[in-house]
Every structure is written in C-alpha cells, then in structure tokens.
Amino acid sequence: MSGRPLFIALLALAATACANVTAYPTPDPAIATTPTESAPTPRERVAAFLESCEKWDEWDKPAPPFQILGNTWYVGTCGISAILVTNPQGHVLIDSGTESGAEIVLANIRRAGFEPNDVRYLLHSHEHFDHVGGFAKIREATGAEILASSVAAEVLRNGLVSEGDPQATSLDPMAPVEVARIVENGEVLKLGDLELTAHATPGHTPGALSWTWTACSNPGEPPVCRRIAYVDSLSPVSAEGYRFSDHPDYVGAFLTSIDRVRALPCDELFTPHPSASGMIENMRTGKIASCTDYAAALTRKLDERLAKEAAQ
C-alpha cells in the first residue's frame, strides 16, 4: 500500500516548526479537554510529542497524544505505548500503561477529542504491570470489555504473573480485573467497519499478543491506507537465574513468534515500548519501522542470549 502515515508526512514541517509551535499542554490527569479549547493541529501534536519525550524515557512521564493515521492514535506516555483505534460504533484501546500511567492515558483520550466511556474493548500486548497494570482503572472508567489470551486472562484475573513467565520471580502483583472473553491466535475483533486481528506471540511472556489492522486517512484527504502492526516486545529478558536454554519448548514458541512477526501484514510497526522500534527517532528522521527489520533484530537478541547461556 502506498502513502506515508500522517505524522511521518508532517515530519519535515515539524522539524522546523518545533521552535515556533506552541506545545500542546502536557496531559494533566485531573484536567479533561473542554469544548472551548481549540484543538491542536496534527503538526502541533507531533511537534509537542517530540518536544516532550526522549528516545529512551520514563514509563509514567506524561506526553501529549498524536494521530498516527486516520482512526489510530497514540495516547500513551513517553515511555509506554497505548494505542486508541476509533470507530463510530465505539473505540478499541490496546494497553493501559502502569496503574499511574492509566490516568495519563484517560486524559489523552479526552485530549485527542474522544470520550473514555466510548471505549468498547480493552486489549493487551503482554501481561506485565507496565502495560496492563492500569487495566482495572481503565475498566472502571470506561466499562470496556477486556479481551485476552488464555494465559494472560489468568494473570489479569488474579493479578499474579504466571509461573511460566521468564520474569515471574521479579515482578510485583497487579490489581485483579475481570476478563470478558478469551481471544485465540488469528481471531478477528470486529466493531463496525473496524477489524483487528490477534496474533499469538509468546516469548517475552507466555500470553503475549500482537495486533494488526488497517488505518486510512480521514475523509476529504487524499486516500492513504496503511497496515498497522502493534507487535509485542519479544525481548529475551528474564529474572536472575532463569535460563531460556533450559526450556526448549518455550524457545521453540519464541522462534515461532518471531517468524510470525516477520510474516505479518505490516506497513508500519509500533511496539509496547516505543524505544524498542525506535519510534521517536523514526518520527524525527522520517523512517518507517518495519516488522521484517524488527524480527531480524529479535532473532539476533535471542541468539545472543542463548549463546551467552551456553558459554556459562
């Protein structure tokens, strides 16, 4: 598919405009956008985000929202992604950030011009507190139905990381939350004319999911459509003492996940940690992150981890 996402198309302007544009106010969880506020332009939103955030940044550092393309918005913090996909029949939110970060996400949904209570579904990437720790807060604020993989559903329901998770012994519990429905690999979530496809990508965690959908520019603009892929971290990180090489079946699933990422319908890649796909650097330079490059990098990291374990 041809065309470039809205924020990429505006980068050349944003690079020179940053000094001249009034930055969009940093989200304040206690303040919602009021009808009298003038909405920032897409260029101003991009410039404000770039002014607010660093290449590697804190998980709960507030950031202004920006439009990725058409119905797809970034509403997360500087260091943790949250993606809002909008639709007249209701919206879909992927990830919540931490429990504290969820307040920023809710404020950003409002600042983007949408209402949290119009969020119909809440989806996840992987089941760690920095990405789903705010699910209970988001659920309370929106009434959204939570959809999860079978493994992640158990984690969300009891707040405890699963025993098979490589980081199980190093993570704190989360607030439990009700899960409405289990989603399987390849299942398509439909809402109006919106379709998001779930892709099981275990590796970083046993219950991780990645998501793909198509976003198109708003009516009245030259038509630009891109296949968006929100792909899980898939980094071989673990608690002290855990050896991936002692779990060959898990490594096999990890490799299958990387192969699945490589084959995704993917014109534009986003990740739960923006830094993992170089999002801010890409926004500044105009580069588009690709799933094939990401899969190659993940393969190298896993190979390096297994080689390190073999040498010990």
Catalytic residues: 126, 128, 130-131, 204, 242, 273
**Contact between residue 126 and residue 161 where contact means Cβ atoms under 8 Å apart:** no
Cα–Cα distance between 191 and 86 in angstroms, integer? 10
Q: How far apart are CA 173 and CA 160, in angstroms?
A: 5
Q: What region does 109 belong to: left with phi over 0, alpha with psi -120 to 50, or beta?
A: alpha
Helix (H/G/I), strand (E/B), else coil: 190: strand
Query: Among all chains, which residue has been given the structure tokens 């505006």?
Result: 10
| Core vs surface per residue 121-138: b (16+ CB within 10 A) or e | bbbbbbbbbbbbbbbbbb
Cα pseudo-dihedral 179, 102, 167, 55, rounded to 10: 140
Q: How far apart are CA 236 and CA 244, in angstroms?
A: 8
Distance CA 285, CA 8 (A): 9
Say if CB 221 and CB 212 are below 8 A apart: no
What SS3 state is found at 68?
Answer: strand
**Torsion angle of C-alpha atoms 77, 83, 85, 86, degrees rounded to 10:** -10
Cβ–Cβ < 8 Å for 84, 73: yes
